[in-house]
Amino acid sequence: MDGWKILVCLVISITGCSPSFANSSSSEWQRFDGWYNNRAHPKWGSLGSSLIRKAEPRFADGVYKMVMEDRPNPRMISETVMSGDDGKPSYLNRTALLAFFGQYVSFESLLTSTLHDVSCPIEIQTIPPMKCKLDVDPACKEEAAMPFLRSPYEHNSGQAPNHPREMVNRVTSWIDGSVIYSQSELWASSLRAFKDGKLKYEDTEQGQFPPLNTQRIPLANPPAPHMHKVMPLERMFIVGDGRLNQHPATLVFGLLFFRWHNYNADRIRHTYPDWTDDQIFNRARRLTIATLQSLIAYEYIPAFINEHLPEYKGYNPDVHPGITHVFEAAAFRYGHTQIPPGMYIGYFENGKCQFRRTDKGYPAIRLCHTWWEAQKFVKKYGMDELIIGMVAQLAEREDATVIDDLRKNLFGPLEYSPMDLGALNIMRGRDNGIPDYNTVREMFDLDRVTEWSQINPTMYFRDEELHIKIKKTAELYGNDMDNLDLFPIGMLESTPYGPGPTFKAIIKDHFTRLRDADRFWFENTENGLLTEEEITEIKNIKMSDIIIKVTNITKDQIQKDIFFLKEDAPCRQEQQLKSAWLDPCEDKSRYDYFSGSEMVYIITFVCAGLIPIVCIGIGYIIVRIKRYKRNLAETEVKSEMKTTNMTGIASAPLPFEMVKVDKAILAYERIREHELRKVQIKFGTDDPKIRVLGRTAQVLREFDVKVMRQVVLEVSDDNRSLPIILIANPCEYDLILQFDNHEQRQNFVTQLETMMKKNRVPLIKINLNSKKILYAAKTKSERQKQLNKFFKTVFDQAFCIVQGRTVKGIEAREVVMTELTKAEFAEALGLKPESSFMDHMFNVVDKDHNGLISFREFLDMILLFSKGTMDDKTRIMFDMYDMDSSGYLDRDEFSMMLRSLAEISRAEIKSEEIDKLLISIFASCGFQDKEELTYSDFNYLLQNYRDELLGTGTDQERVAAIGRTLSTASDSSSAIREDLTPRSWVTMRMSQLSEYMEDHHLQIFYLIIYYLIIVGLFVERAAHYAYGSEESGLRKVMGLGISITSGAGSAMSFAFAMILLTSCRNTIERLKQTVLEKYIPFESAIDFHRINAWTALVFTVVHCIGHAINFYAVSTQPVNYLKCIFKEIHFESEFMPKFDFWFYKTITGITGVMMYIIMCIMYTYASRTARRNLFNSFWVTHHLYILLYALIILHSASRLTQAPRFFYFFIGPAMLFVFDKLTNVRRQMMEIPILKAEVLPSDVTHLTFHRPRNFDYHSGQWVRIACSSYAPSEYHPFTLTSAPFEDTLSVHVRAVGPWTWKLREVFDPSNIGRSYPTLYLDGPYGEGTQDWDKYEVTILIGGGNGVIPFVSVLKDLAERTSQNIGVACKKVLLSTSIHCQKKSEKQSKCK
């Protein structure tokens, strides 16, 4: 027999059994969580089991919705049924101790809902205000609806009518001492002393007490309404049920049974000194539970309902021990009517019972002032005085009235405190879906009530107050007897003997089932836990016996039956307490959880708005510092420039455009705002010209004083800044010079005045403030805009393509008055201004010989070349070289024509060859005897010997560049004029849109797909939290904010992942060589990268706005709501998280703040302006993407509101990106030697460098390069100007920014050392240009650098045609535009 018991215990020990033995018998110890009490149904009565029903539930939808619409307002019912005067004693002299012990009994087997705990998801059903009805609120002070938190429920219930919502009991149903020992092994272990089988205790003058909760066991800790704040958890005693600290009475009972356990442990230890701590503890626990079972079943219940339970007939495993909804939500709440408004404090002095007054002089402690501060009163008065007071005090009368301390001043949440317990009880019944009153009566074999008087026939005609309440209740319910709430009608059944028949039947049923279904019930002899003698002994123990044994109270100070106050009681109250005699309860108040967060919230989002501004400001400061350093460096070079031997420079071999420099003046020319360049000013000695020379004496600008007619000189007159002069040039843009000192400027002015006098040109000198000079200066950019308008107007007039674009008024006058200098005229034609051909062309076009080309003169030239006959064009050529206007071309003039043609074609032909060519041409035409040619002779020569002339090396395209270009334009304009009709603005825009869509149909297609995905992801997440995800409770707290945040976060995740994908340049380049290139526009990867970045930014802003809403909403919620929503975060019971907690103390918040700052920095320095002026900053800040993506991963992985989703989008692109980057790293580690460096005019630097092994590329592709001697980690993109067949690589770098200017300085011959620095190479990467050979007609359009981007293509084209390598291309059209002035077009046929 013993072996079988040991085996059973070992099996059950897996689930919590501890094998200990009483005497010589083995015993099975009851689990803390209530499992396996019934072996056939292990879960029955266990922790977390569902409540049970005896009839169909009553929900509004039959599933879970509360019945509200067709029933009265619960607050009105509470006011009608449960209001009344307090201070009426119990009919049967029941004591206050019985009333309060009922709360302790409910703690033992009930926990479905509390005022401070919520269901997950959060479900709040408001109780509407009473709106001054029934004279309840005559002052109409009631304004706010009372919140009601629905009970936690079993989540697989409430899905269908056949499975309605079922509430969950979060303690065990059994009377198993869970209120003493808790419901878990871990909690119980924290209560144990692990010595002598006792619970932890501390000895005090008032007896044993548990230690304070320094371990922070999760005890219930709602805010005390009279203090209106949450107190520290450590102030409470550690006990087995967190609710015991609710008020002094419940805590006294908890301490009483705590001491009873230790009392039993002492007895067992003395009886069995060889027992272990576990054996003593389990045996003491068994005896304590048995005592509690006996007290509840056989002492408390008979006293409470005035009726005994049926005789115990032994354990019945077929009886279900579940808690019924009607018991939990209605019947056992009857005890609320017995609670008095206060507690007497009794004590004995000289053998006489006395009652202690409070510190304020009141006769008793007001109940409303004790909520959740029980330990304070227990420590102050001690258990003994509180017990004597409850034993000597009568409970309130057994009727429907509930005291105001419960009905109007019950503790509640901070945001709405205090609460109405009567209304809450009614709502709890509706929450549980309790059937109507009559249906419940039928469930318990009671007759249905058909008349209102039948509710309480005993008291209906005897109690006038009850009679009135029933009549008013009938009016509230519309006299509908079949739609009555159980709790208020059950309260109206009250009789002098206790609860009425309905509640009595429910209570008897509940405790009878609990007793009969409990295998560990103390009277069950079959479990072997107790002997017959022990059972008898336990049944004889009364509550008074326990009090006497564990306190200092003697048997002479309390009555034996402490649940009733008889006349012979040792201590008896002086009078029944009335609330009017006690300390008034605090006024109603509301708590704003957001209070204290206002400034943090405002400052946070103000700072969020300032961060981009700060980033821009820092960028501006960096630009100014860099410019200051640059100017400082230039100043240091001034001494070197002053001591430079200008004669040595002049005597050196110079390029064609160089001039001899003698006595040059050093200065700085202002190019644009905040940009200066070092120049040398040279005044002509033989010709009246002012020349601006560069560092290597190349001519940058030239002024012909005679052409200007007069010179206006503006001189700065302020001494605080460096001296400035401005020479106004009406024909071009102004020359602004800055000097190191006034002596240099005076030297310049003196030489200028001397030259003006010598050439008799007026000089007007004006003294102005430097700011005014700079403000009114005509800059190069303004001149470029003026010329652009000039050329557009000329071509519009010439080709009649002015459709809706007219120039009028002042603007028209400005265009007509514009005149071109020789340099501007040459630049427009793509010719060198110093070429002989350019001189002759300019002289012919300049009809008035004023040295400038007017609007009319330029227009006439355009019309001549576009619409004139061949004879007209030949006449122009003839006139160009008829220098003396004699009507004849002599041999010298014809020779000059050949030389100029050779010059513009860049053919190197010697003078002897030109002379031989001239003799040969004249002889072939029969003109060998002529010294002069007439026009007819010249025309004959051009018509018959054009090829021979061009064969001399004169480039056909160069000679006829203007004519061919304008002829082509004329032909095009003629075709346009044939089909062109006046169109409206809308029609023109629609046409442009149509053309754009046709040209970019693939890009538009993929862009639509991309944004469909983006929108789909946004809508899916937003809809999920707006209409679904009910179980999370997020929507009810955060509202619209959670939908916006989640939707934007999903879209943002996808966009950030796509940014990585579009950054895989090497992969994209490989894919371009596949068939996918026909279907996917890989060449638009960079544009798509920008679109992704802007899309990510937009959704990031939306995400931040959503979080601004979310964090505000969350900061207004009590912590018990937050525990339900954010299960990943542990909240202490007294902790009230403010806005700063969410924003700065959570992973989601702090990573979000860091991400926002990083994005502000990255996007600020990724702007076009920042890239041009602060490329190094752009380069560095753009590498913050590594930290940004790490923060995004942490941000999404925090699981604050949902499981991580960023990984779904991120993993694939990230792996591809890493692989792509590894390719870059390997390639960028190679140093490439530079073979040749040339500093060319127009600020262009030509670099030729080694071609790495296996470096394959196509013409038109580009690379990224970095210089080892300057910012080696800073890479810049440049188009290759070498061709694939060449053994070397080359690029042409135009200086437009800090890095390119620095590169030019590095390779300047005056700065370079014996060896060149090395380059780092990354690439090649592709552009659409590389596919030029796949089409019959290729149009290459260049801007800014002119033809440079297509040099590689042209070289490749020439090589292929020379090698007879077949290509698909039949024609290449090249159009370049430089500074909006150079307009030329070249055609080349490919065979």
Residue 764, Cβ neighbours under 10 Å: how many? 10
Residue 1224 near residue 1314 (C-beta atoms within 8 A): no
CA–CA dist 1105, 1108 (Å, integer) = 5
Give the pLDDT confidence score for residue 834 in this predicted structure.
66
Mean pLDDT, rounded, for 1012-1020: 90
Average pLDDT over residues 154-169: 88
Distance of alpha carbon 1360 from alpha carbon 125, whole angstroms: 83
Using alpha carbons, select from 1132, 1120, 1124 the residue that is nearest to residue 414.
1120
Distance CA 618, CA 624 (A): 10
All residues at 6 or more sequence positions from 972 whose CB lies less than 8 Å from its CB, including other chains: none
| DSSP collapsed to 3 states, 1217-1240 | HHHHHHHHHHHHCCEECEEEEEEE
Q: How far apart are CA 461 and CA 431, in angstroms?
A: 33
**Residue 826 vs residue 288, higher pLDDT:** 288
Identify whether the C-beta of residue 80 lies closer than 8 Å to the C-beta of residue 401: no
Average pLDDT over every residue of 211-223: 84
Report the pLDDT value the prediction gives residue 325, as an integer from 0 to 100: 94
- Whether residue 1037 has pLDDT greater than 70: no
Tell me: pLDDT of 1372 over 50: yes
Span 1332-1353, pLDDT tens digits = 666 667 777 665 455 666 777 7
Is the pLDDT at 115 greater than 80? The verdict is: no
849: left (phi over 0), alpha (psi -120 to 50) or beta: left
Whether 17 shows a pLDDT value over 70: the answer reads no
Strands 1234-1240 and 1244-1250: antiparallel
Rounded Cα–Cα distance for residues 842 and 858 (Å)? 10
Lowest mean per-residue pLDDT among 86-100, 498-512, 1095-1109? 1095-1109
**1273: three-class secondary structure by DSSP:** coil
- Residue pair 77/68 in contact (Cβ under 8 Å)? The answer is no
CB 704 within 8 A of CB 689: yes
- What confidence tier does 131 reach under pLDDT thresholds 50, 70, 90? low
Identify the top-confidence range among 984-993, 1205-1214, 1347-1356.
Answer: 1205-1214
Ranking 276-285, 357-366, 630-639 by mean pLDDT, the lowest is 630-639
What average pLDDT does this structure show over 1133-1157? 82
Whether the CB-CB separation of 186 and 16 falls below 8 Å is answered with: no
What 8-state DSSP symbol labels residue 551?
S
Is residue 1264 classed as helix, strand or coil in its secondary structure? strand
Give the contacts of 506 (CB within 8 A, at least 6 positions apart). 324, 326, 327, 330, 331, 332, 440, 444
Residue 1133: count of CB within 10 angstroms of its CB = 22
**CA-to-CA distance for 1212 and 1217, rounded, in angstroms?**
9
Q: What distances in angstroms separate CA 161 from CA 63, 553, 928, one per listed residue?
A: 5, 56, 119
- Give the model's pLDDT for residue 1382: 36
**Is-cis flag, bond preceding 1324, omega within 30?**
yes
Distance CA 563, CA 544 (A): 9
Determine how β-strand 1371-1378 pairs with β-strand 1382-1389: antiparallel
Tens of pLDDT, residues 895-946: 777 766 666 555 555 666 677 777 777 777 777 677 777 777 777 777 665 5
Q: Which of 146, 145, 159 is nearest to 59 (CA)?
A: 159
The overall average pLDDT reported for the chain is: 79
Question: Residue 685's closest CA among 707, 658, 663?
Answer: 663
Confidence of residue 128 (pLDDT cuts 50, 70, 90): confident
Question: Do the beta carbons of residue 1290 and residue 1348 sit within 8 Å?
Answer: no
Structure tokens at 711: 């010179």
pLDDT average, residue stretch 1121-1129: 73
Q: Among the listed ranges 382-391, 465-474, 1308-1317, which one has the minimum average pLDDT value?
A: 1308-1317
Ranges 203-212, 337-346, 1088-1097, most confident: 337-346
Other CB atoms within 10 Å distance of the CB of residue 1044: 24
- Please spell the DSSP secondary structure of 286-334, one letter per residue: HHHHHHHHHHIIIIIHHHHHSSPPPPP----TTS--PPBHHHHHTGGGG
User: Going along 649-803, which residue ranges are E strands?
Assistant: 665-672, 675-683, 689-693, 699-704, 711-716, 724-728, 735-738, 763-768
In angstroms, the CA 1290 to CA 1286 distance is 10
Annotate 126-176 with DSSP letters as a single string.
EEPP-TTGGGS-TT----SPEEEEPPPB-TTSSSBTTB---BB-SS-SS-S
Nearest to 671 by CA among 824, 781, 787, 822: 781
- Helix H, strand E, coil C: the string for 986-1050 is HHHHHHHHHHHHHHCHHHHHHHHHHHHHHHHHHHHHHHHHHHCCHHHCHHHHHCHHHHHHHHHHH
